[in-house]
C-alpha cells in the first residue's frame, strides 16, 4: 500500500482498477467512483478506463448481463434490477433481461411468495394481501406480476 502512494497517478489508477476488475465485473461508473474515492484525478481515471474499455477489460454490457443474472437468481424482479443498473450507470436493458417472459416473472414472484408466506388465499384478508404485495413490490415485481402471484393457489398449476 505504501508503494501505491509513491507511484505516478496513472500507474496507480491502472493498478487499482485492475485489482478491482479481477474481483468482479464493474460498470464504468462504479469503477470511476471507486478510483475517485482513492483521490485519483478524473482526467487520469477517464484515460485509464477508456484504455480498459478498448482492451475489453471493462464492458458495461457484460457487467449488466452478469449483474442481472445474479439478481434474478437472488429472486429480484425486473423493476428493481433495472433501477439498480441505472444506479450503477447502465441505462440500457441487458439482452438477458429482455429475453425473459412475463410468465417467468410471475412464476418467480409466486415462488418467492410461497417460500416467504405460503400460498394461503389472501382475498379475504386485506392487511395480509397488502403485506405480501408490498414485499413483492420491494423485490422489484410490477403490479400485474404481484397481482398474478397473489392469485396463485398451487405452484404445480402455474399457467399465466
11-56 pLDDT, tens per residue? Answer: 999 999 999 999 999 999 999 999 999 999 999 999 999 999 999 9
The pLDDT of residue 139 = 97
Tell me the pLDDT band of 102, cut-offs 50, 70 and 90. very high
Cβ(159)–Cβ(104) under 8 Å?
no
Q: What is the mean pLDDT of residues 141-146?
A: 97
User: Is 80 exceeded by the pLDDT of residue 107?
Assistant: yes
Tally Cβ neighbours within 10 Å of residue 63.
24
pLDDT in tens, 119-142: 999 988 999 999 999 999 999 999
**What is the Cα–Cα distance from 95 to 68, expressed in whole angstroms?**
10
Residue 114: per-residue pLDDT: 94
Burial class of 150 by CB neighbour count within 10 A (0 to 12, 13 to 18, 19+): buried
For the chain, give the mean pLDDT.
92
Average of pLDDT values for 61-65?
A: 96
Of 80, 70, 89, whose CA–CA distance to 30 is shortest? 89
Is the pLDDT score of 1 beyond 80?
Answer: no
Amino acid at each position: 500500500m505504501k508503494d501505491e502512494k509513491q507511484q505516478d497517478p496513472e500507474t496507480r489508477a491502472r493498478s487499482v482498477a485492475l485489482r478491482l476488475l479481477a474481483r468482479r465485473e464493474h460498470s464504468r461508473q462504479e469503477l470511476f467512483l471507486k478510483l475517485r474515492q482513492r483521490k485519483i484525478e478524473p482526467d487520469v481515471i477517464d484515460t485509464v478506463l477508456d484504455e480498459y474499455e478498448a482492451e475489453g477489460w471493462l464492458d458495461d454490457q457484460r457487467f449488466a448481463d452478469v449483474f442481472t443474472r445474479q439478481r434474478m437468481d437472488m429472486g429480484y424482479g425486473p423493476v428493481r434490477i433495472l433501477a439498480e443498473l441505472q444506479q450503477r450507470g447502465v441505462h440500457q436493458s441487458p439482452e438477458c433481461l429482455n429475453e425473459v417472459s412475463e410468465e417467468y416473472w410471475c412464476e418467480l414472484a409466486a415462488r418467492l411468495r410461497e417460500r416467504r408466506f405460503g400460498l394461503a388465499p389472501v382475498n379475504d384478508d386485506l392487511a395480509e394481501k397488502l403485506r405480501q404485495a408490498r414485499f413483492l413490490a420491494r423485490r422489484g415485481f410490477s403490479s400485474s406480476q404481484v397481482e398474478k402471484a397473489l392469485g396463485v393457489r398451487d405452484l404445480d398449476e402455474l399457467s399465466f
